[in-house]
């Protein structure tokens, strides 16, 4: 890889553009510090087309730091495959499945992986799931457009927020308890990280805008349960066909019952992001994490 022309692709047209730029900046600086020949490409929705940007840069390998629509849903992965450019992270199908929360749930259920009870929102049908519930877009990341709804008065505002993102809206059972995330790197689960927020769930504000979010590494749960959560995360990662790395989001009831919410194939790599935190605890510092992801590019 030291002889390859590498580009860190960031920005993009999704609602997570700002987060992507922060991820890209961190990855770019780490790879430069390790001696790689690397350039940063900011894919601006108002600027030059992505294929033209890549061709002008004569890129051989892309470290994909995009988040959200196009970058995370298999579209860019397919484009790079057609252009013969190696890319970090999961491939087309796994990326598409993981980004689509409805498709993910169907895959989880087919593999016997517990996931909260759910339904697709249809204005002609009643909500069948008792409160509290979660209302969210089926194809967004970084908790954009997500609401925890505890009574009927909160339903309409939550639906309006989710619908702003376009596409399918998902309604699912809210699992009271612990919010736990597992980092997966290669074929190994790096460990668990539990997040506690003043808002009750890890939304966009808690992720990027607040300074009172608590991070517990490992999760404040029995060791045996943490090992079960790591195995559950690996199962979800493999069920979707993911490669290289991911972050698996899990809710755990006080009685130890665990439910997979989703798998993030391009988890954030900012200073506040969970993947670097759990990797560091496992003995993999930020530059080494970026490098391992790069070396697995295909």
Tell me the catalytic residues. 16, 142, 208, 247, 249, 262, 264, 268
DSSP calls for 29-59:
HHHHHTT--EEEEEE-TTSS-HHHHHHHHT-
Torsion on CA atoms 107, 192, 257, 141, rounded to nearest 10: -40
Q: How far, in Å, CA of 49 to CA of 199, rounded? A: 39
For the record, the structure tokens of 277 come out as: 């935190």
Strand order in the sheet with 147-149: 118-120, 169-173, 133-137, 147-149
- Maximal CA-CA distance, the chain: 59
Q: How far, in Å, CA of 215 to CA of 235, rounded? A: 24
C-alpha 251, offset from chain centre: 15
What pairs with residue 88 in β-bridges? Answer: none
């Amino acid at each position: 890889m030291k002889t390859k022309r590498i580009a860190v692709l960031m920005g993009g047209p999704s609602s997570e553009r700002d987060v992507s730029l922060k991820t890209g900046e961190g990855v770019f600086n780490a790879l430069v510090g390790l001696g790689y020949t690397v350039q940063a490409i900011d894919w601006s929705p108002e600027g030059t087309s992505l294929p033209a940007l890549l061709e002008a840069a004569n890129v051989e390998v892309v470290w994909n730091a995009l988040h959200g629509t196009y970058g995370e849903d298999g579209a860019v992965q397919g484009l790079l495959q057609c252009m013969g450019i190696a890319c970090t992270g999961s491939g087309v199908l796994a990326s598409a499945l993981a980004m689509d929360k409805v498709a993910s749930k169907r895959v989880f259920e087919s593999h016997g992986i517990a996931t909260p009870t759910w339904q697709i929102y249809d204005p002609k049908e009643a909500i069948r799931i008792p409160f509290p519930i979660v209302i969210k877009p089926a194809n967004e990341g970084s908790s954009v457009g997500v609401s925890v709804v505890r009574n009927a008065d909160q339903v309409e505002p939550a639906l309006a927020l989710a619908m702003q993102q376009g596409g399918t809206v998902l309604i699912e059972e809210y699992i009271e308890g612990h919010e736990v995330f597992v980092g997966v790197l290669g074929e190994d689960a790096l460990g668990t990280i539990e997040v506690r927020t003043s808002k009750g769930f890890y939304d966009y504000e808690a992720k990027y805008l607040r300074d009172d979010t608590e991070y517990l590494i490992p999760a404040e749960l029995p060791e045996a349960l943490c090992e079960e959560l790591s195995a559950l995360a690996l199962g979800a990662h493999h069920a979707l066909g993911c490669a290289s790395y991911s972050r698996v989001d899990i809710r755990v009831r006080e009685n130890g019952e665990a439910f997979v919410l989703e798998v993030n194939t391009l988890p954030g790599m900012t200073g506040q992001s969970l993947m670097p935190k759990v990797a560091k605890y496992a003995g993999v510092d930020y530059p080494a994490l970026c490098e391992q992801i790069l070396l697995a590019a295909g």
